[in-house]
Amino acid sequence: MRKSIIPGFGLTLGFTLCYLSLIVLLPLAATFVETSKIGWPAFWHIVTAPRALAAYGLSFGASLVGAAINFVLGTLVAWVLVRYHFPFKRLLDSLVDLPFALPTAVAGIALTTIYAPNGLFGRPLAELGIHVAFTRLGIVVALTFIGLPFVVRTVQPVLEDLDRELEEAAASLGAGRWQTFARVVYPAIAPAAITGFALAFARGVGEYGSVIFIAGNMPMRTEIAPLLIVTKLEEYDYSGATAIATVMLLISFALLVGINGLQRWGGGRAESDAKEEPAMRPAFGLGG
Amino acid sequence: MVNAIPASFAPAVSESPLVKRLLIGVSVLFLGVFLLVPLGCVFAIAFGHGIAAYLASFHDPDTLSSIRLTLLAAGIAVPCNLVFGVAAAWAIGKFEFFGKSLLISLVDLPFSISPVVAGLTYVLLFGSHGWFGGWLSAHNVQIIFAVPGIVLATTFVTFPFVARELLPMMSAQGNDEEEAALTLGAGGWQTFLKVTLPNVKWALLYGVILCNARAMGEFGAVSVVSGHIRGLTNTMPLQIEVLYNDYQFVPAFAVASLLALLALATLVVKSAVEWRSAVLERGTK
């Protein structure tokens, strides 16, 4: 490789590494070092306590359900936005990113107000015997909201680039519309949809702000894992909070590796007309 | 298929109008229930007791100080991450080196960490029981439960935004234009300002806007390090929580409406930037 004449490599890389170490790596290292001080038996005791297990189970379960709802309806929304024309389509398309841009506390109080027993949706649902706010169902509603843009925004560009001739070929060979979708369109968009699902799931597991208002926050029943960390901190139980946080960090890293793998899988399939579209990636991050 | 012509003659490459309408209906209903209703709810309750009650919400000194603190935290975190983003995109986008893909993953790392965990990591560093806690209290410096902690937590959660938007643009542009400028005698700094920056300015603007929206709206990480001291360490999202838990719904939603407007403005800028880059792309083809 010839030497680049472009200047500033040492300066920019040095600054990048220093800033990264100070803001991100040092605090994360502190967490792992503090965890190692707890000792294995005490650590295991904290992270497998029934209350902790219930919290992981709830965070995982509710995120899984929310991501599954978004997998189905997000794919449908992407399809409708790419293939059909209808009034206010551009407006709705822009609004899909709202959960990324709206602060989670705002989303939290708005959803709680709507689904509270005297709220706009809460009242008619309560009459049907369905209670949303302050139950696990409420957590699923909040996580569905938070994860909504991921599947839409991962599937949309793939659908736009999809060659319509493949569908015409399938149809002229006698496939029905549903069969064409299931056998031709779906396999092409599946990697993107699964990536979106995984992103929505990862975001849901760490989500805090939008959930705590609607959740009710009862230990063992409606207490999510990030809330358990906050509760332990407020009780000055630093080792408890640190141990749970380490479990969450390890889960985050595992999900990150999995999502990178999924994206490589999806990228490999779309290699033929791979064009980088940075603006279309979900870029608002996971968490809140 | 409800086609006038038998299916064997007209290949079914689109859905029947009925199916089409049904799919559009379900999508619009889903987006309406999950996006439009919550957004409308914020403004409906904020203005529910009239505009005078809405404006009166902003006479509360604690609310005003929360707005100031949010502006301060974003005002420090966003420029820091802007400088970092430009430096990281330059180093990663313009050069090849060992460990590059690992560095990209590390830059993205704060996105995948729960904000509560991010806040906790700073408590473990700077809290009274933390690594630097003893030294800090000996020198009378308070970081946790004070403004510096809020700024640090905000910087952590918004860390990747600018870098992530700039990086694909910088590497897609290649080095040819910069090399030409340098060969013609331009200095490094001049090359950056006159050649690189104009090429990436829209991505830069977009990254800054996203970074700012998240910085002003961050809740979980800031909540952990703030200590919730009214009038001192509550940012706007934390003030919303305080007001809401006090059953002061109009003031809570009034503060929320400011953040909702910020979110809408962010979406408008995002659409404008995307529209512009789509027009430019069409222009070059």
Give tens-digit pLDDT for B13-69.
778 889 999 999 999 999 999 999 999 999 999 999 999 999 999 999 999 999 999
Report CB contact under 8 Å: A109, B88. Answer: no
Report CB contact under 8 Å: B88, A12. Answer: yes
- Candidates A27, A168, A206; nearest CB to B114: A206
Residue of B219, B275, B277 best to disrupt the A interface, most CBs of A under 10 A: B219
Q: What is the mean pLDDT of chain A?
A: 88
CA distances from A198 to A37, A67, A151, A167, B206 (A): 33, 8, 9, 28, 25
- B49 C-beta neighbours (distance < 10 Å), count: 14
When pLDDT is averaged across residues B95-103 and rounded to a whole number, the result is 90
- B220 touches A: beta carbon within 8 Å: yes
Report CB contact under 8 Å: B220, A79. Answer: no
pTM for the structure as a whole: 0.90
Alpha-carbon span A271 to A250, nearest angstrom: 31
Evaluate if residue B239 carries a pLDDT over 80: yes
- A229 touches B: beta carbon within 8 Å: yes
Report CB contact under 8 Å: B27, A76. Answer: yes
Residue in this structure with the two tokens 């595992």, named with its chain if needed: A254
- Number of helical (H) and strand (E) elements in chain A, helices listed first: 15, 0
Report CB contact under 8 Å: A106, B26. Answer: no
- Report whether A278 contacts B171 (CB < 8 A): no
Q: Could you give the ipTM of this predicted complex?
A: 0.90
Q: How confident is the model at residue B227 (pLDDT cuts 50, 70, 90)?
A: confident
- Candidates A24, A28, A233; nearest CB to B123: A233
Q: For B73-94, how does the pLDDT look when each residue is reduced to its tens digit (9 = 90+)?
A: 999 999 999 999 999 999 998 8
What's the token pair of residue B156?
Answer: 């952590």
- Nearest CA-CA distance, residue B232 and chain A, Å: 19
Q: Identify which of A111, A226, A91, A149 has the alpha carbon closest to the alpha carbon of residue B220.
A: A226
Q: pLDDT at position A3, please?
A: 60
Q: pLDDT at position B16, please?
A: 85
- For A244, the closest chain B residue by CA position comes to B117
Report CB contact under 8 Å: B84, A16. Answer: yes
Three-state secondary structure call for residue A96: coil
R_g over Cα of chain A: 22
Q: Identify which of B75, B72, B277, B77 has the alpha carbon closest to the alpha carbon of residue B162.
A: B77
DSSP E strands in A70-197: the ranges are none
Residue of A1, A2, A6 best to disrupt the B interface, most CBs of B under 10 A: A6
- Residues of chain B with C-beta less than 8 angstroms from the C-beta of A111: 38
What's the token pair of residue B153?
Answer: 């937590």
When pLDDT is averaged across residues B237-252 and rounded to a whole number, the result is 95
Q: pLDDT at position A260, please?
A: 83
- Nearest CA-CA distance, residue A125 and chain B, Å: 14
- Which chain B residues in 99-118 lie under 8 Å from chain A, judged by CB atoms? 103, 105-118
Q: How confident is the model at residue A286 (pLDDT cuts 50, 70, 90)?
A: very low
Report CB contact under 8 Å: B95, A9. Answer: yes
C-alpha of A38 from chain center = 31
Q: For A237-276, how does the pLDDT look when each residue is reduced to its tens digit (9 = 90+)?
A: 999 999 999 999 999 899 888 888 888 877 655 443 434 4
- Nearest CA-CA distance, residue B247 and chain A, Å: 11
Q: Identify which of B218, B109, B167 has the alpha carbon closest to the alpha carbon of residue A255.
A: B109
H or E element, residue B195: none
When pLDDT is averaged across residues A103-129 and rounded to a whole number, the result is 95
- Residues of chain B with C-beta less than 8 angstroms from the C-beta of A278: 165, 168-169, 203
When pLDDT is averaged across residues B187-214 and rounded to a whole number, the result is 90
- B193 touches A: beta carbon within 8 Å: no
- Report whether A208 contacts B237 (CB < 8 A): no
Residue of A3, A69, A109 best to disrupt the B interface, most CBs of B under 10 A: A109
Alpha-carbon span B110 to B118, nearest angstrom: 8
Give the whole-number percent of chain A exceeding pLDDT 70: 91
Q: pLDDT at position A273, please?
A: 40
How many residues appear in chain B?
Answer: 285
Q: Which amino acid is at A49?
A: A
